[in-house]
Structure 1
Amino acid sequence: MAARPPPAPPARALLLALAGALLAPRAARGVNLGSGFPPSVQGGGAYEVVSASLLNGDPWTPRKNSDSKNHPEELHFRIQLESKELIVKLERNEGLIASSFTETHYQQDGTDVSLIRNYTGHCYYHGHVQGYPGSTVSLSTCSGLRGLITFGNSTYVLEPMKNATNRYKFFPVENLRSTWGACASHSNTSGFVGHHRLPPPSQTRTRHKRETLKMTKYVELVIVADNREFQRQGKDLEKVKQRLIEIANHVDKFYRPLNIRIVLVGVEVWNDIDKCSISQDPFTSLHEFLDWRKMKLLPRKSHDNAQLISGVYFQGTTIGMAPIMSMCTAEQSGGIVMDHSDSPLGAAVTLAHELGHNFGMNHDTLERGCSCKTAADKGGCIMNPSTGYPFPVVFSSCSRKDLEASLEKGMGVCLFNLPEVQPSFGGQKCGNGYVEEGEECDCGEPEECVNLCCNATTCTLKPDAVCAHGLCCENCRVSPPGPRSPLCLAGSTLLQGKQWAGRGPSLPAVGTAILVTQVGSIHLLLLPPSRRGKGTFSR
């Protein structure tokens, strides 16, 4: 275990005590479900040994490199179980890795090294099981097949067997052993998050509630691995990076039903020493990490949220901690996660939980009467205050309501810009949730699309629809100017002879109604068809 840091100076200790006093009223405490943490958490329980083959009968052969062009855009394979045959259909998760994605590690003298690697053709997939409506799959093919398969109201884990070619363990997720633990979430009860006080709900914001809910939101995420995590993974830099991306791939799959996409803009590994004090005290570690993020990470890497994956076993039963309703703030948009399972799935579930707190989600307690489509003995829902096995993989009705309430209050203003993602070797794809050149809209796959203005099959606007996305798009129409919509003005001549400041590096599609700013006043820019495609519009 990591050595404890020396006692904090009196001034620092006083600041931490005052912060604790502010955050304590809404702090959620986990139930003590375990007496301690083992030095290693091993997979256990019964499993079935299976092999994977392509649909033509050839055995599936793993590729060696995580960013190899040999990883196909689509992958269909067969798993033969004792009782049934599964046909798994996968598509590469093209929206997972941003075009600005960087990998950062450190030299012996402490100098940071940031690499820009071409992750086009990467090995992280989402998909479904043929013949099982509502089934979901999130897998990595980087080093064999590893991931999560949900079908028939049950969730299973697929992972490679050691020292065996094309042999895999296939078992129910409840057999994946993990440390029981609890989350301790904190909120700033003063109403301040970062430098900005959340504005009170307004009539305008209420009008846009439905629009913000159906709009796809994008979290530009950085995941950091501390030094103890690096050591626990055998001091293998590539292995740690793959694990972090695999965690993000699972989290993205968990959040897709909420119309939220996770876009990785960076991973960082503290392979020399920790860049801030990470101890067994989760409260202190959280504040140290958030301070480091604000002072060191944000100035060199633009992002919306950062999460620390730690190999340190926190005190008590805490396995994660994050501030509540802090998304997009400079000071508090982040959290810490204990890597408490051999499988990346354990850290993925905890990260999704802590990210949920950043979104304003509270714990699913009995008093709240939350509806969860997964039974407790199958894992329950992600915002359960205590996590053990089986791992939860879905959100409850309470989490959805909490998210709606946070968005209505103005939380998450950074989530509505569309990140640029790594281009696909197979070209653009309708249904990935990203409006690409030639598309008027994109609301995801048909089974997950909730946008009434967009045809999910063709990625075109529905008949009579003028727009499908944007804060100034209401009921498939551009919000008219006037006292009911002071943030949106008619914009047919906004581009004539003027330069405007926007949020993104490229112009959005014609079906997007966006806000642009000129010296403090907010206007609507609705692009005519002739201005579609890429083009700079920053001042």
Structure 2
Amino acid sequence: MVELRCYSLKGFLLLLLLGTLTFGHVWNRTYSPFYEVIIPQQLEHTGSQGYKSQVSYMMDIGGERYVIHLRQKRIFIAATFPVYTYSGSAMFHMEEPHIQDDCYYHGYVEGFTDSVVGISTCYGLSGFLQFRNLSYGIEPLESSIDFQHLVYQIEYSEDLYSESTSCGMNYANQNMHSKGVLHDPQFQQEIYTSPQTQYVESFVVVSKGQFDYLRKNETAVIEEVISVINQADAMYESLNVHLMLVGIEIWTADNLVSISHSAEDILNNFADWKMASLNPRLTYDNAALILRETVLPTVGLAFDSKICQPEKSAFFAVFKGNQTARSAVIFAHELGHCLGMRHDDSSNCNCGSNNCLMAPNSISSFAFSDCSIADMADFKDSGGTQCLLNIPGTAAIAISTCGNKIVEGTEQCDCGNKEECKMNPCCTFETCTLTLGSVCAHGRCCVNCKFATAGLTCRPSTNECDLPEFCDGRSENCRNNTFKQKGTPCNNNNGYCYRGLCQYHDGQCQDIFGSGTKSAEFICYEEANMQGDRFGNCGWEDDKFIQCNPENALCGKIQCKHPITAPTYVGNASIIYYAPKGSICKTLNFPRPINIVDETWVHDGTKCGADKLCLDHRCVSVSNLDVACDPKKHCNGHGACNNVGQCHCDIGWTPPDCSHKGLARRLGDMHTTPIYDNSKRNWLLVGVGLLVLHIAIIIIAIIIKRRQSTENNERQDSQAYETENGGQPQTTSQSEQTSAFSSNPSA
């Protein structure tokens, strides 16, 4: 059903034109045809004239009235902002134009605490709104004289694995996301209450095709890029990640890299170009290439987890259509790969919407899933985001924003918008200061506005390969999540820990087919995976499946057996049964292109032999893992190595190397904090005290005895003197003394 609410013939004609452009260009996908023309009404707000730090609008969408509260966002454009253009194929010109940065806003929909809004008000309202698990884009009708805007609902339609609509990232060597800590709401809350804000300094390059699409208008290009960055920044706000645009380059003459080859070639060519041409000019964290060329089979590609590696911190994104909200999703999605985020598995990942931002072909959601949050946290814990901790120039971030749930500047706390702050008695909404008597407002180690007692478990272990974390009594934040070092034996030595999970064949079969399932006999792996087809393989290369060698058969596609024949897996996969030499085996087959990750590949870290595990579909020695900590050597056999190469001591042993006995309690500073046996110390103190008291008594006795001896001697001398003078002491009166002085001739 198409719902149109037009207020003029002109608006109706413009709506038809926009609808035609939209269906003709955006991602070749089926959407709910919900388009509505509205007139947003700005509500009165106290403040100065012009663009205000806070502004509110009332909008009627789908027959219901909503109030959108916005706060100004002015810290995402660098103070020094170069724009490079070209007059020829090789000669560039640099300008530092005045950039209007006071009309970009983030906000929320009143009454919806989990809503997200990113809007530009420079020329009408342009951006996105997400609430009630629905996503909307909003754009101004340019020729309208009545402040008319087009609101369109972005809906997802199942068209999985279509190359023209999917991200080009392939995760052939990655595990499926699994349930557990990912769905813990406290875990998600901790991400954006972390005191460490991360800043991604982004440089954007615009291709000749995109420049031509915007009618060769450099100003229009700059405005679109800034709008996309603003909206993407709103999406990353919940992760405590800020995007800062540090510059733009527009290929106004010709593309400076070839875009006629594969997506991988384009990305590699762009990386080579930026290293040779862009890096010598300025400092940045990540470079993005925006393309308009429609010949590409994907909407983007990125170097995975390379945000802090200058030679590889890059991605490209293909913008299709004329709606910045969808372009911003593509931009945020590809940047997510640079930040260590994998594609979401729809069966295990949740964001409160049908489709999350890191789905392989997402455009309908502006929210990150719990899986993406976990990926980001793991990447940060591994040190992959160290380059993002430096704070950009103070001129560019002088303004802190109270209400964005990020503690910045002089803020003591930030509980979010007014609705969210009603649930936090520790923080004052208007001033972002702690309420009277409070010492904290956020974090797992903040209990009733006070620091939790040292030793309180703030993040319990979720499985055999996870390690617990504890409050230290001095901070509101639980320490970084740690887990056992990859290659640590688990499941009674039948598997190995890898990325915080115990990997073994039986466990993977149970994840797919349910409890009671076990891994099939070796003959099943050998029979299936040595075929090198979609039912059994060791990955793919050059668009062809790879046959497994016998020694790698256990690292190809998972093969399972089950006590019942009825399938228990729910999904769009086919269950394949076969019986080599009388053994009943089964596996799954997903209908998808060859170069898309297969969730049924045996997980990396799975044990495939004595002291061997699977890595990249090969059965290799555990010694191939790049780990620096040996629990026997560095932890003296009394602790486990964690994922950052430090010892997590067993109870009864003290850090940092677990070499000394003593009562100890793990506190989550990646070690254990010693708490020594106080009884021994107390006895020692008592002994020392008694000794000091004994010595003091002796000294006092000696002093008293000496005084008594001195007094006796003085008394004896006095008696002897009296005896010598006839028993009377010799005295002289004062008058006699005076007379004597007077008669002195010399006086």
Please classify the TM superposition score into its range, dividing by the shorter chain length.
0.5 to 0.7
**1:276 paired residue number:** 257
- Alpha-carbon contact 1:281-1:314 (below 8 Å) kept: no
- Alpha-carbon contact 1:216-1:443 (below 8 Å) kept: no
Equivalent positions of 1:7-406 (< 5 A) are: 40-41=25-26, 45-56=33-44, 70-81=50-61, 83-108=63-88, 110-119=90-99, 121-165=101-145, 166-174=147-155, 181-185=165-169, 215-316=196-297, 318-366=298-346, 369-375=348-354, 380-387=355-362, 391-406=364-379
TM superposition shift of 1:275 = 2.3
TM superposition shift of 1:447 = 7.7
TM superposition shift of 1:271 = 1.2
Alpha-carbon distance change, 330 to 236 in structure 1, aligned in 2, over 3 angstroms: same
Q: Deviations over 1:468-518 (max 9, x none)?
A: 9xxxx9765599xxx99x9xxxxxxxxxxxxxxxxxxxxxxxxxxxxxxxx
- Alpha-carbon contact 1:110-1:272 (below 8 Å) kept: no
- Alpha-carbon contact 2:205-2:290 (below 8 Å) kept: yes
Q: Distance in 1 between matches of 2:42 and 2:284?
A: 39
Secondary structure of 2:268's counterpart equals helix
Alpha-carbon distance change, 326 to 315 in structure 1, aligned in 2, over 3 angstroms: same
Q: Distance in 2 between matches of 1:229 and 1:420?
A: 30
Alpha-carbon distance change, 147 to 475 in structure 1, aligned in 2, over 3 angstroms: farther
TM superposition shift of 1:288 = 0.8
Residue identity in the other structure for 1:411: G
Q: Distance in 1 between matches of 2:473 and 2:76?
A: 29
Secondary structure of 1:99's counterpart equals coil
Q: Distance in 2 between matches of 1:114 and 1:444?
A: 39
- Alpha-carbon contact 2:167-2:300 (below 8 Å) kept: yes
TM superposition shift of 1:94 = 1.9
Q: Distance in 2 between matches of 1:212 and 1:352?
A: 21
The total of aligned residue pairs comes to: 402
TM-score, scaled to structure 1? 0.65
Alpha-carbon distance change, 82 to 444 in structure 1, aligned in 2, over 3 angstroms: closer
- Alpha-carbon contact 1:418-1:434 (below 8 Å) kept: no
- Alpha-carbon contact 2:71-2:105 (below 8 Å) kept: yes
Q: Distance in 2 between matches of 1:188 and 1:385?
A: 13
Q: Distance in 2 between matches of 1:212 and 1:85?
A: 32
TM superposition shift of 1:142 = 2.1
TM superposition shift of 1:154 = 1.8
**2:402 paired residue number:** 430
Q: Deviations over 1:10-41 (max 9, x none)?
A: xxxxxxxxxxxxxxxxxxxxxxxxxxx99744
- Alpha-carbon contact 1:135-1:150 (below 8 Å) kept: yes
Q: Distance in 2 between matches of 1:275 and 1:152?
A: 44
Residue identity in the other structure for 1:370: C
TM superposition shift of 1:445 = 5.9
The structure with the larger Rg is 2
**1:198 paired residue number:** none
- Alpha-carbon contact 1:125-1:138 (below 8 Å) kept: yes
Q: Distance in 1 between matches of 2:140 and 2:373?
A: 35
Q: Deviations over 1:144-169 (max 9, x none)?
A: 21111222332222112242121111
Q: Distance in 2 between matches of 1:423 and 1:265?
A: 10
- Alpha-carbon contact 2:107-2:116 (below 8 Å) kept: yes
TM superposition shift of 1:104 = 2.4
Alpha-carbon distance change, 428 to 351 in structure 1, aligned in 2, over 3 angstroms: closer
Secondary structure of 1:300's counterpart equals coil
Alpha-carbon distance change, 234 to 355 in structure 1, aligned in 2, over 3 angstroms: same
- Alpha-carbon contact 1:107-1:272 (below 8 Å) kept: yes
Higher relative contact order (CA 8 A, sep 6+): 1
- Alpha-carbon contact 2:82-2:248 (below 8 Å) kept: yes
TM superposition shift of 1:89 = 1.7
Q: Deviations over 1:427-471 (max 9, x none)?
A: 6543454733x446768768889xx9x957445579557x99xxx
Alpha-carbon distance change, 187 to 220 in structure 1, aligned in 2, over 3 angstroms: farther
Secondary structure of 1:184's counterpart equals coil
Q: Distance in 1 between matches of 2:191 and 2:151?
A: 41
- Alpha-carbon contact 2:32-2:154 (below 8 Å) kept: no
Residue identity in the other structure for 2:317: V
- Give 5+ residue unaligned stretches, structure 2: 1-21, 174-189, 444-470, 478-634, 636-640, 645-747
TM superposition shift of 1:247 = 0.9
Q: Distance in 2 between matches of 1:461 and 1:113?
A: 50
- Give 5+ residue unaligned stretches, structure 1: 1-36, 58-68, 190-208, 487-539
TM superposition shift of 1:113 = 2.7
Q: Distance in 1 between matches of 2:166 and 2:40?
A: 36
Secondary structure of 1:171's counterpart equals strand
C-alpha RMSD of the superposition: 4.2
Alpha-carbon distance change, 455 to 301 in structure 1, aligned in 2, over 3 angstroms: farther
Alpha-carbon distance change, 445 to 94 in structure 1, aligned in 2, over 3 angstroms: farther
Deviates more, 1:88-97 or 1:212-221: 212-221
TM superposition shift of 1:129 = 2.0
Residue identity in the other structure for 1:48: E
Secondary structure of 2:82's counterpart equals strand
The percent identity for this pair of structures is 29
TM superposition shift of 1:344 = 1.5
TM superposition shift of 1:401 = 1.6
TM superposition shift of 1:139 = 0.8
- Alpha-carbon contact 2:32-2:155 (below 8 Å) kept: no
Q: Distance in 2 between matches of 1:305 and 1:330?
A: 8
Residue identity in the other structure for 2:348: G
TM superposition shift of 1:74 = 2.2
Secondary structure of 1:386's counterpart equals coil
TM-score, scaled to structure 2? 0.48
Equivalent positions of 1:460-471 (< 5 A) are: none
What is the aligned counterpart of 1:416 among 376, 386, 389? 389
Secondary structure of 1:332's counterpart equals coil
Q: Distance in 1 between matches of 2:475 and 2:152?
A: 49
